[in-house]
Structure 1
């Protein structure tokens, strides 16, 4: 697929279309959804007579995001340097740009001009970067068309590791070549009472659907009377009768009426719990709607009052964070000015200094 060609006019148009889809709610996470890309492609074709694919548009989106993140970090790195208003970037010498480009790849492109379409890119990506979303590419998609590409599937074998191989039972064998009992040793020696007389191991077998392990399938049967009687079985080797202890229990079946009443009781309990959950949710929603949201202006007033003067790192991170209502609400939970100031400082360190190991020069 040939690469898309982007000039200044096409870049401006696609940027406007991206912003339009973001404001329409077609950016669920870090990228547009399929509806957003389709709308951008259709409107871009109407305005330029060029039909670009989703992949070509996504590559342009990623390029915009990379430039925006680099520019935001460059503003932090270059804080304190003189500003060239004509170029819209820092007025620094060649040595500074060379050094900064090594530490922040891609910074050199802003040497002669600032970030183009910054107002539109802010709408596209500021929410993503301000809320801690990882700007790295998304994880690879799952196998296409539901095809299992695991090594087992490639050879026609089942994928689960616990499935039997080729239908073969791999239980350990006893000395006579027969499968040993579950509780017998793994070395081929059978230490069961029958084995001491030279007879093969025999397990208790179910008689007429009766459970032979001393318990029944239902807890209600534990109160019933039980009786034991010897049952004889011929072994294929010695033709001798071996006593096998069988515990026969009398089953007690529940009536249909009792079962129906029990099910009705469970359903009533489930309905009661669901109603309580709904009442709690409605109560919480009504309380949340009755409380006014803190405005950006109110929160920024508290920012200045806590000591974050304009131009400081704390004031800068506040302008990014408090676009989000959740961040404003979190800031208001702090009771003292010192606590708010330290919280802003840590936010700045976590976002810029910890991730890039870069700080103001």
Structure 2
């Protein structure tokens, strides 16, 4: 199990460096490391033939050119994923050979037009492709670099006969990442993390927690009686996580607290008191993503990101997920310098 607190928080490139390049693209990950990231976070979903690919969601119309590809028009469909009805194209309906012909694009081009200028220039990556990027960057920089692998929609994929605990465990072993100290595996569903541990995966297991609702695996099992995320963040809820996971990663407002109030919550301290690591997501520089007290100017302009980033980092948190890796590194370094 990792230590309860890191002396210097990790800067984790959220889907690479999506403030500058389309998320989950090769250049996004390479740029994240070039800008100083300690780790990068890939979201993992599966293809029809069980290949692990990197997409924020299994529905891919917003992040690839699939809608412009007439040969795949027949695959457009409507599905319910974790109680949400979605219409589009889904990774589990493609083989890897088919999916590998697509190119990636910026998810929010109106906010990040510079990133969108790279649309259509790069293909979809597999988890194994990212492992090669990480290892190459680590060798070049002469320091350990990590992957923080998020497993998406595990209960949903299990129902399709694509058990992600089995697929991820096998792939991590195949590419030589099982047991590496730089490996973190996270999910909004604890059952897949427990399944990975049972399959012999050695990693830091981190439970992702939203501000509202309940985990999809618990809803599938318990329906309306499912324990909410809010209940899991009470003292009793955190006590129950000890020995099940190594850490907890939460939506940023759960660390910052009320939008209009100064200061931060005591969540990081409560996690550390139980020997659990603490993470927060996602730090972004644009005003539309900042807490109201840090916004300055137009919605898509950069606000007072320095103050928000340092407020979160100043809680003693173990790591933060950032879209603009260089800004996260700058905020952390300024905090370290102030502490002497």
TM class, shorter-length: under 0.3
TM-score, structure 1 as length reference: 0.19
Q: Going by fraction, where is strand more abundant, 1 or 2? A: 2
TM-score, structure 2 as length reference: 0.20
Q: Going by fraction, where is helix more abundant, 1 or 2? A: 1
Higher relative contact order (CA 8 A, sep 6+): 2
Which structure has the greater CA radius of gyration?
A: 1
